[in-house]
Structure 1
Amino acid sequence: MKIGLRTVKTAVSAALAMIVAESLGLLYPASAGIISVLSVTNTKKTSLLTGLYRLLSLALATAIAYVCFSILGFNAIAFGIFLLLFIPAAVYFKLSDGIVVSSVLVTQYLVENDLSWSIIGNEFLLMTIGVGFALLMNSYMPDAEKRLKEDQEVIETMFRKILNNMAAYLNQPGKERNLFEKCDDLKAFIRTGENWAKNHAENHLLSSDDYYLEYFTMRRMQSNSLKDMLRILEAITVEPEQVESIQKLLQYTAETFAETNDGQDILDKISQVYEVYRKKELPKTREEFENRAKVFQLLQVFHSFIEIKAEFARHQSEKTV
């Protein structure tokens, strides 16, 4: 049995919340522990927002409960009317996350048969202590940057292998079929990296660090283009000299594929390859024309593939200026 860091933080924050609530003489101190359990999230940002939304939700719930209980009394019917009003109001104000917790705290008004300032203060203190200790525990988050850098290296290695294989299999229909599976594996790995990058970004409350998230998003877009290239590649059957320029281009891209490569050099080479094809003798048959069109289509998608990285590099350069 493995006990994770989040489990430890949840247990510690719940225990501390209950101890503090009890030491302050609050009613229902166990509620502070439960609130803390429900407020420990995966990132600092989500934990902060969860705590804030739950406090606002409790304020809304208390206002509605005050009206319902004042008019109908402290009974089950009044509580039912409260829920009929509170739930859609919470959804409207985007406070859905606090519906359950706030409703439980409102039942304590019902049990106490009281809605005085002292009991209201009791509920808000329980909520504050619960979310406060959850925030305190979540103030420590292990740094995921090492993991993200390692994922970058793996992704770039996967791209290089696929590009090299594409160069080798170009003009050999059927051999590229296993590359579709490799492309799917690449995309799945990128998705995992995106999730880690999102958590990494949300653990920086006072600064913005979305580089890794933007990086993995860029690579995911490139993986989509890569799959489009494979679909075209499997339909190309021309003379070897017709695809020699593209093969060299793919091989060069694989050799230079890296985080630091802004793609401009490759875009220049693509323009040169375009010129080579424009100067070639025009196709003489319909079949030659269709195959030449597929080669051009492959080149166009490849240009988009590199342009995605070039645009990413330009965006990052603008952010540092």
Structure 2
Amino acid sequence: MKLKPYSIGYRTMKTAAGAAVAIYLAQLLQLDYYVSAGILTILCVQPTKKKSIRAAFSRFVASLIAIAYTFVFFEGIAYHPAILGILILLFIPLLVSLRFSDGFVSSAVIILHILDAGDLTLGLFLNELSLMLIGFGTALLVNMYMPSIERRLNAYQVEIEHLYSKILNEMVVYLRNGSSDWSGKELMETAELLKKAKALAYQDVENHVTRLENKYYRYFDMREQQFEIIERILPKISTMPVMVRHSGLIADFLEDLSDHVHSGNTAHRYLEKLEVVKKEFADMPLPDSHEKFLAMASLYQVIEEMDSYLEIKQSYKGFENKKTAGSF
């Protein structure tokens, strides 16, 4: 079995630094169970800022509920392992119903501290509260720094545009020659790349607390919708029974389109060109055989699909400060 390359990522470094700082601060304040501050920090360092904030809130609330449960069960009944079992048995379903289940491990740390102390005093309560504030607070602070992923997003964008251009060109080849030795590998590459790009763009959204979406996520979502249309168009082109004069008309349009694939948006120009294509298509002679009729019907469906393709791009605002001449 091949081992993965050894590497230390940003999250690992932040977790290590956060745990060390949290333990140091708790020790500096002479808190009991000070090492637990490091555990609480480790539990709260998440892949994104929003996830880290949600994790800290969930764990803080769960820990406060846990303290209330220990008061009822330990102070009300007894400090005994059997009572701990009953407490956990009733505590977990409550966290699940409140959607704070991810806070169980951190709250379990607090519960065990109180069980070990054998007496829930005001001093112990303040001690545990301080541990939570230091542990969760440190995690939030170290997670405020997130490395920029815009360069990777831009690389995905460029590669997707290149693949779209290649696919459109392969359509042109088939329309002009009636055959093609294209393997279609760009289709699989595009589908995989769109999946990765959208996931990375969503991560970028999660790293901005007040942002609900970003320009790259909208862009990749738009390209994904266009890709669905491309997948519908390809069979219509590749299964045409015969080549007709109309094929060249569509091929010229697609070739022009393939030369101007980038993030800017002047799709309205191509919608106007497509209207011209529709008119020229309608003015061409009617088919004189069943095969030609089927071919023309397929080509007209391609035109209609391309209309939808361009409408999707027109509804997209595009990137600022990007080239826009002739783009779609």
- Could you state the TM-score of these two structures normalised by the residue count of structure 1? 0.89
- The yes-or-no answer on 1:163 pairing with 2:168 is yes
Q: 2:29 aligns with which of 24, 44, 48?
A: 24
Please, which of 217, 221, 226 is the counterpart of residue 217 of structure 1? Answer: 221
Pick the aligned partner of 1:49 from 48, 54, 65: 54
Indicate the RMSD between aligned Cα atoms, in angstroms: 2.3
Q: After superposition, what is the alpha-carbon deviation per residue over 1:18-49, rounded to whole angstroms, capped at 9, x for unaligned?
A: 11111212121121111111211122221122
| CA pair 276-88 structure 1, distance change in 2 beyond 3 A | farther
**1: distance between equivalents of 2:231 and 2:80?**
62
8 Å contact kept, 1:55–1:124: no
SS in 1 for 2:265: coil
Alignment of 1:145-294 (within 5 A): 145-170=150-175, 175=180, 178-179=183-184, 181-207=185-211, 210-294=214-298
Structure 2 counterpart of 1:64, from 61, 66, 69: 69
1:111 maps to amino acid? D
- Counterpart of 1:4, as a letter, is G
Q: In the TM superposition, what is the alpha-carbon distance from 1:131 to its structure 2 partner?
A: 1.6
SS in 2 for 1:178: coil
**1:95 corresponding residue in structure 2:** 100
Aligned length: 315
C-alpha displacement at 1:175, in angstroms? 2.6
CA deviations on 1:276-321 (whole Å, 9 max, x unpaired) are 33333444444333332222222222222222211222899xxxxx
- Give the partner amino acid of 2:236: I
User: How many Å separate the matches in 1 of 2:181 and 2:62?
Assistant: 56
Distance 2:318 2:151 in 1: 25
Residues 1:308 and 2:312 aligned together: yes
Contact 2:37 2:134 in 1 (8 A): yes
Q: Which amino acid aligns with 2:25?
A: V
Counterpart AA for 2:172: A
Displacement after TM superposition at 1:261 (Å): 2.4
Q: How far apart are the structure 2 equivalents of 1:172 and 1:50?
A: 58
Q: Which runs of 5+ in 2 are unaligned?
A: 1-5, 321-328
Would the aligned equivalents of 1:166 and 1:176 in 2 still touch at CA under 8 Å?
no
Residue 39 of structure 1 contacts residue 51 of structure 1 at CA under 8 Å; is this kept in 2? yes
- AA at the equivalent of 1:258: H
Offset of 1:251 from its aligned partner? 0.7
Provide the rounded CA distance (Å) in 1 between the counterparts of 2:293 and 2:123: 84
Aligned mates of 1:273, 1:194 — CA distance in 2: 34
Give the AA of the match of 1:224.
E
Please list, as runs of the form range in 1=range in 2, the aligned pairs for 1:102-117 lying within 5 A after superposition: 102-117=107-122
SS where residue 272 of structure 1 aligns? helix
Q: Secondary structure at the match of 1:256?
A: coil
> Equivalences for 1:64-83 in 2 at 5 Å?
64-83=69-88
Secondary structure, in 3 states, of the residue corresponding to 1:312?
coil
Point out the more displaced range, 9-18 or 201-210: 201-210
Q: Where does residue 297 of structure 1 map in the other structure?
A: 301
Asked if 1 retains the 8 angstrom alpha-carbon contact of 2:226 and 2:309, the reply is yes
Asked whether the 8 Å contact 1:64–1:86 carries over to 2, the reply is yes
How many angstroms apart in 2 are the aligned matches of 1:314 and 1:182?
A: 24
Which contiguous aligned blocks of 4+ residues in structure 1 show a shift greater than 6 angstroms? none
Partners of 1:132 and 1:195 in 2: how far apart? 28
Task: Write out per-residue CA displacement over residues 183-216 of structure 1, whole angstroms, 9 at most, x where no aligned residue.
Answer: 1101211222222222222222245661111111
Q: Which amino acid aligns with 1:12?
A: A
The CA distance in 1 between the partners of 2:82 and 2:235, in whole Å, is 63
Contact 1:171 1:233 in 2 (8 A): no
Q: What is the TM-score with the length of structure 2 in the denominator?
A: 0.88
Q: Give SS of 1:198's match.
A: helix
Q: Secondary structure at the match of 2:92?
A: helix
Percent of aligned pairs sharing the same letter: 32
Q: Could you tell me whether the CA contact under 8 Å between 2:175 and 2:243 is conserved in 1?
A: no
Q: Which residue of 1 aligns with 2:325?
A: none
Aligned residue number for residue 149 of structure 2: 144
Shift of 1:16: 0.7
Structure 1 residue runs without a partner (length 5+): 317-321
